Structure 1
Amino acid sequence: MDEVYFLTPKDARRLILSKGRVKLNLDLRKTNRTFEILLKGGEFVFPDGTRVEMGVIERIARDDDTVYFVKSGVYKAAIACEGYYKLVPTIPPTIEINGIRMHRTKETNPLQDTRDKVNAVKPGEGETVLDTCMGLGYTAIEASKRGAYVITIEKDPNVIELARINPWSRELFTGGRIQVVQGDAFDVAKRFKDESFDVVIHDPPRFSLAGQLYSKEFYRELFRVLKPGGRLFHYVGNPGRKYRKKDLPRGVMERLRRVGFVDVRKVEEALGVVAEKPKRGK
């Protein structure tokens, strides 16, 4: 794959303030590598020879919530189709769909948010993990780094395309311990055999966008595919005490118990709920 160089508004401002020569990290801080960029004749010259006019860099500098990339031209890391999808220059990036961010970014960052969720169920060496809603894949990557084998599901092909662009998502497609499945988790879960997974990490979109992923029917499938003694983490978020006059976390916990989960409890630091499938014989 040819090198792709990423620019944030902060990077663009550094280019504008440079005196003709500057070293920048161009992979959204995924590594510590830097590249020298020169200003020649009013254009910035990138390592692959791409020349970018000062006016373009000035526009990027004013666009605080968007990631750009350089590859024989300058492009937004965004997709406009039936909705508007883009990478947002948090470190690591989050994805924004129609103005809604898919990770917690207030008082935390997407990487710490991911670690809090994964720590709630602690997947270990050789375990199998079902990650129901991939997004940019940070959860799947973190679980795989701990030695687990992961199947991660993503319904939206536009999200998968942004993950392919994002340098922080690269291990989804190159790490060898992760299988990406495109489809609706509600349907895909039914294909797995009973007792296939040690851990399920369920991080669905908000209830108003994916109500069936909060349903008792779907929870039965998660219970079925977990091995006895298996652990579930369910992200709920912080919808306020009442969501449309319903206590969302309480409703989630009640439905999990009804389908057979035990030791159901909140994990405040991860804004979610953990539960277990009873061990065999209990």
Structure 2
Amino acid sequence: MAIYYLTFREARALLTGTLEINPDLGKTDTKIEVKKEGNTFVFPDGTIVKEEIIRKIARDEGTVYFIKEGEVFKAAIAREHFYKLVPTIPPTIEINGIRMHRTKDTNPLRDTLAKVNTVNPREGEKVLDTCMGLGYTAIEAARRGAHVVTIEKDPNVIELARINPWSLELFSNSRIKIIHGDSYEVIKKFEDEEFNVIIHDPPRFSLAGELYSEKFYKELYRVLKPGGRLFHYVGNPGKKYRHKDIQRGVMERLRRAGFVRVRKVEEALGVVALKPER
């Protein structure tokens, strides 16, 4: 059964008479033809959507919609928290109004490339991606030939990744292994010196302070091979949290955990570090 994705962009195109639209949030150049019949739009699989629903989508610049099995759904989950895909290209995920990728003056794909390029995973290397999210980091590392273990704590995030067409490679690429669990606990199960590269992109400090702790950094150090590379996303340089410089504290704790050549990477808003060679 076909799934068609709609944002305000596609809805506005339909309302202004452009009946060929992209159905996969810009992931490919694919076009589908939608027919206009009276006050309805008819999609290629026969699904009929009323014009009033298309008008509603056209007004909503903050949400992704999709058509599946003849019905229109929001790509959103309301449980203990509110989760939704945001129609950036590619989409980001928003949890209680907080976006999980940088979108100001960039997009989630450029944001991902900036992070991955700091450690440049190579063919045959093993990569630990501590916080999967929509999986763009894991996908990019796997495309470079690395074998990736990616961890995600929140089942709602995994569910949205399954909905997002830009995340489908997570579930089809044999180089990617997904572990559902808390990185703080899961990392204890890995062998010493198991990974060549670690990409650590945790939620903000106020939401997951344990992932910024020296104890956790020592686990990162333990599972990294000698000479291995670490990238740690921190956030906007110079920002203060309760008058404390988070980035400086991260760098100090990484050094205490044993990492060397710890330095800021301004373009990726994070820190890179190495585990010393023997």
Pick the TM interval, shorter chain. Answer: over 0.9
Segments of 5+ residues of structure 2 without an aligned counterpart are: none
Distance in 2, matches of 1:192 and 1:65, equals 39
Mapping 1:85-124, distance limit 5 Å: 85-124=83-122
Corresponding letter in the other structure for 1:59: K
Deviation track 1:8-60 (CA, whole Å, cap 9, x = no partner) reads 10110111111xx6111010010111000001131101111110000000000
Segments of 5+ residues of structure 1 without an aligned counterpart are: none
Distance in 2, matches of 1:226 and 1:174, equals 26
TM-score (ref. length: structure 1): 0.97
Distance in 2, matches of 1:123 and 1:135, equals 19
Structure 2 match to 1:50? 47
The equivalent position to 1:59 in structure 2, one of 30, 48, 56, is: 56
1:198 aligns with 2:196: yes
1:173 positional shift: 0.2
Distance in 1, matches of 2:83 and 2:44, equals 28
Distance in 2, matches of 1:70 and 1:237, equals 35
1:160 positional shift: 0.2
1:241 positional shift: 3.7
Distance in 1, matches of 2:2 and 2:193, equals 42
Structure 2 match to 1:139? 137
Mapping 1:126-205, distance limit 5 Å: 126-205=124-203
1:239 positional shift: 6.2
Aligned residue for 1:29, secondary structure, equals coil
1:81 aligns with 2:75: no
Structure 2 match to 1:37? 34
1:242 positional shift: 2.2
Q: CA RMSD in A?
A: 0.8
TM-score (ref. length: structure 2): 0.98
Distance change >3 Å, CA 241–CA 6, structure 1 → 2: closer
1:243 aligns with 2:226: no
Corresponding letter in the other structure for 1:12: A
Following TM superposition, the consecutive aligned residue runs of length 4 or more in structure 1 with deviations greater than 6 angstroms are none
Corresponding letter in the other structure for 2:80: E
Distance in 1, matches of 2:243 and 2:39, equals 58
Aligned residue for 1:170, secondary structure, equals helix
Distance in 2, matches of 1:266 and 1:78, equals 35
Distance in 1, matches of 2:132 and 2:99, equals 14
Aligned residue for 1:134, secondary structure, equals coil
1:15 aligns with 2:14: yes
Distance in 1, matches of 2:3 and 2:237, equals 38
Distance in 1, matches of 2:29 and 2:7, equals 16
Structure 2 match to 1:70? 67
After alignment, is 36-45 or 190-199 more displaced?
36-45
1:272 positional shift: 0.2
Distance in 1, matches of 2:205 and 2:119, equals 22
Corresponding letter in the other structure for 1:56: I
1:243 positional shift: 1.5
Contact 2:237 2:266 in 1 (8 A): no
- The count of corresponding residues between Structure 1 and Structure 2 is 277
Distance in 1, matches of 2:46 and 2:152, equals 36
1:166 positional shift: 0.2
